[in-house]
Amino acid sequence: MNATSTQATSAATPPEDISQQIESLRADVMKLAATVSDDLSDGIGKAGRQIGQTGRDARATATNTVLEHPLAAVGIAAGLGLLLGLVARKG
């Protein structure tokens, strides 16, 4: 009985109404896609700004640390250079 009512409803719906419904759905999907795209762009922009700020903060911290402890910075750089040299030589 349910299949009969579905067939009767389908037969009663004119093709023009279905076309209008499809166009309405298509417009709604386009609006939704635009909204999601805008939200995604905003999120990516915020993430980029935050990453840039984090990088600037890290650079400032490293610079201040080197200025406060120059001998330790030279010792660390020399140790890393020696370590990388040994790894490159074995590889």
Residue-wise pLDDT tens digits, 10-68: 556 777 888 899 999 999 999 998 888 888 888 999 999 999 999 999 999 999 999 99
What domain range is 10 assigned to? 2-90
What's the total number of domains in the chain?
1
What is the DSSP-derived secondary structure letter of residue 90?
Answer: H
Q: Which residues of 8-46 are buried (b: 16+ CB within 10 A; e: fewer)?
A: eeeeeeeeeeeeeeeeeeeeeeeeeeeeeeeeeeeeeee
Residues 15/20/21/25 CA torsion (nearest 10 deg): 140
